[in-house]
Structure 1
Amino acid sequence: MSLFWRIFGLNALVLGAATALLLWAPVTVSVPVLLTEAVILVLGLAVMLVANAALLRIGLAPLDRLTRLMASVDLLRPGQRLPVAGHGGVAELIRTFNSMLDRLETERATSSARALSAQEAERRRIAQELHDEVGQSMTAVLLGLKRAADRAPESLRPELQQAQEITRESLDEVRRLARRLRPGVLEDLGLISALTALTNEFTTHTGLKVTRHFDADLPPLEPQAELVLYRVAHEGLTNVARHAEAEHAELSLRRSADRLVLCVSDDGHGGGIVREGAGIRGMRERALLVGGSLDIVPGAGRGTRVSLSVPAAAAAKDTDHA
Structure 2
Amino acid sequence: RDCERRLRQEVQKYSVELRHAHETERHRVARELHDEVGQTLTALNYTLERMALHSSGTGIEIAKEASSLVADLTSRVGDLCLALRPHVLDDFGLGPALIWLTQRFEQQTGILVELLHDGLAKRLPREVELGVYRLIQEALTNIARHAGAKRCAVRCASSPENLVVSVRDYGVGFQVDRLSSGLRGMDERVQELGGRLTIRSSPGQGTCIRAKIPLPIKAW
Using structure 1 for the length normalisation, give the TM-score: 0.61
Select which of 152, 172, 179 maps to 2:82.
Answer: 179
Select which of 150, 157, 178 maps to 2:53.
Answer: 150
Q: What corresponds to 1:241 in structure 2? A: 144
1:128-170 deviation digits (Å, cap 9, x = unpaired)? 1111111111112211222222233243434433332222121
Aligned equivalents of 1:144 and 1:274: distance in 2?
Answer: 59
Aligned equivalents of 2:115 and 2:33: distance in 1?
Answer: 30
What is the Cα deviation at residue 210 of structure 1? 1.5
Q: Does 1:122 align with 2:49?
A: no
User: Normalized per residue, which structure has more strand?
Assistant: 2
Contact kept, 8 Å, 1:109 with 1:288, in 2: the verdict is: no
Select the structure with the greater relative contact order (CA < 8 A; seq sep ≥ 6): 2
What is the Cα deviation at residue 106 of structure 1? 3.2
Contact kept, 8 Å, 2:148 with 2:172, in 1: the verdict is: yes
Q: What corresponds to 1:106 in structure 2? A: 9
Change (3 A) 1:201 1:271: same
1:235-255 deviation digits (Å, cap 9, x = unpaired)? 111111222222212211024
Aligned equivalents of 2:125 and 2:28: distance in 1?
Answer: 22
Change (3 A) 1:284 1:156: same
Aligned equivalents of 2:99 and 2:21: distance in 1?
Answer: 27
Pairs aligned (count): 219
Using structure 2 for the length normalisation, give the TM-score: 0.86
Change (3 A) 1:102 1:165: same
- Helix, strand or coil for the counterpart of 1:131? helix
1:55-74 deviation digits (Å, cap 9, x = unpaired)? xxxxxxxxxxxxxxxxxxxx
Change (3 A) 1:145 1:298: same
Aligned equivalents of 1:256 and 1:105: distance in 2?
Answer: 32
Q: What corresponds to 2:214 in structure 1? A: 311
Amino acid at match of 2:22: Q
Contact kept, 8 Å, 2:93 with 2:124, in 1: the verdict is: no
Structure with bigger gyration radius: 1
Q: What corresponds to 1:162 in structure 2? A: 65
Amino acid at match of 1:175: G
| CA root-mean-square deviation | 2.7
- Helix, strand or coil for the counterpart of 2:58? coil
Change (3 A) 1:245 1:163: farther
Paired-residue identity, %: 36
Structure 2: stretches of 5+ with no match in the other structure? none
Aligned equivalents of 1:159 and 1:267: distance in 2?
Answer: 49
What is the Cα deviation at residue 269 of structure 1? 1.8
Structure 1: stretches of 5+ with no match in the other structure? 1-96
Contact kept, 8 Å, 1:272 with 1:303, in 2: the verdict is: no
